[in-house]
Amino acid sequence: GEDVEQSLFLSVREGDSSVINCTYTDSSSTYLYWYKQEPGAGLQLLTYIFSNMDMKQDQRLTVLLNKKDKHLSLRIADTQTGDSAIYFCAESIPGGYNKLIFGAGTRLAVHP
Amino acid sequence: EAGVTQSPTHLIKTRGQQATLRCSPISGHTSVYWYQQALGLGLQFLLWYDEGEERNRGNFPPRFSGRQFPNYSSELNVNALELEDSALYLCASSLSDNYEQYFGPGTRLTVT
């Protein structure tokens, strides 16, 4: 079935690393995504990973994929107050006709 | 490069009326997607248009419909509005058969 789960809230201190976790149920997922949503705004595509990869790094962002456990994580190094937002994990599945399945989102709060 | 644009930003309607939401994709993108972000229900896929054709539809009633124009812009129409249609409606675009979906800022529809 199609289901993506995330913890709802994460609080970190400025300068620390943040790790946002996500689990998905469809083992045939092809791409897994991280989107960021700031208050009152749309979704910003941060990064994505193809299912045959286990890691992708892009500046301060590191995505880890454990396909066996169907677990995806997003690590943000040196977290800043500007990183405060809701982070959505999403998957696309073959034959899903480009439909993205989103998790409920993790609210990241960065405090000084 | 201009991103995905949506209009109007806000729309207030009364129950039973019709709403029309508009979306202009990123230049060169031929696919347009519509998602609903309702409080408590998360982000749900509504519709996908590509090259003027409806390619996929989410689990929404037929009163949610849309179309894509020759210039690849799109309209989402919601007929016989119900209170639970109040939500942020997000449009995304991508190249055809490409998994990178870029989102607009959304239209907030309020039904009273």
A111: phi then psi, degrees, rounded to nearest 5: -120, 150
Q: Per residue in B37-60, is it b (16+ CB within 10 Å) or e — as a string?
A: beeeebbbbbbbbbeeeebebeeb
Which member of B42, B48, B92 has the closest CB to residue A97?
Answer: B48
Which member of A45, A99, A104 has the closest CB to residue B58?
Answer: A99
Q: Which residues of A touch B102 (CB under 8 A)?
A: 45
Q: How far is CA A70 from the centre of its chain?
A: 13
Q: Which residues of A touch B107 (CB under 8 A)?
A: none
pLDDT value of position A10: 97
Rounded mean pLDDT of A35-52? Answer: 92
Strand partners, A100: A92
Token pair 């607009």 is found at B104
Tell me if B104 sits within 8 A of B22, measured CB to CB: no
Answer yes or no: do A43 and B45 touch at CB < 8 A: no
Per-residue pLDDT of A80-112, as tens digits, reads 999 999 999 999 877 656 789 999 999 999 999
Per-residue pLDDT of B62-93, as tens digits, reads 999 999 999 999 999 999 999 999 999 999 99
Amino acid identity, residue B98?
A: N
Q: Which residues of B touch A103 (CB under 8 A)?
A: 42
Q: Is A71 on the interface with B (CB under 8 A)?
A: no
